[in-house]
Amino acid sequence: QVQLVESGGGLVQAGGSLRLSCAASGRTVSRYAMGWFRQAPGKEREFVATSSWSGGITYYADSVKGRFTISGDNAKNTVYLEMNSLKPEDTAVYYCAASLKYGSRWQNEYNYWGQGTQVTVSS
């Protein structure tokens, strides 16, 4: 069993930055790849980024590549999503998730989910 708790969301102006955190707990956390997804109002939840804890297997959605960075701190069992050059279209609830399948972009391959944190980017 893995528990995930996101934090760090908020309101930011376009062009600004935010860092989301996902605290993971559970005896088997290190076995899982970690991912970030987001869901904007009226839209389907979509993949944002995923990474192994070592950072060796990392993928990004095209829409965030070059602006967002996923990273992990093994000692703290925490995964981060550093978001720069934010745009109004980045407004969404951001979810942290854990998967036994490394490199996955597919929601149904993620076994555990956090409750989400709201990110709002004003124009």
Q: What does the alpha-carbon distance between residue 25 and residue 6 come to, in Å, rounded to a whole number?
A: 12
Q: Which residues, including other chains, have CB under 8 Å from residue 82's CB and lie 6 or more apart?
A: 17, 19, 68, 69, 70, 71
- Please give the mean pLDDT across all residues of the chain: 96
* pLDDT tens readout for residues 69-100: 999 998 999 999 999 999 999 999 999 999 99
Averaged pLDDT, 26-53: 94
Residue 11 pLDDT level (bands cut at 50, 70, 90): very high
Question: What CA–CA distances, in Å, run from 16 to 11, 86, 104, 106, 111?
Answer: 10, 6, 28, 28, 32
> Which residue has tokens 């930011």?
12
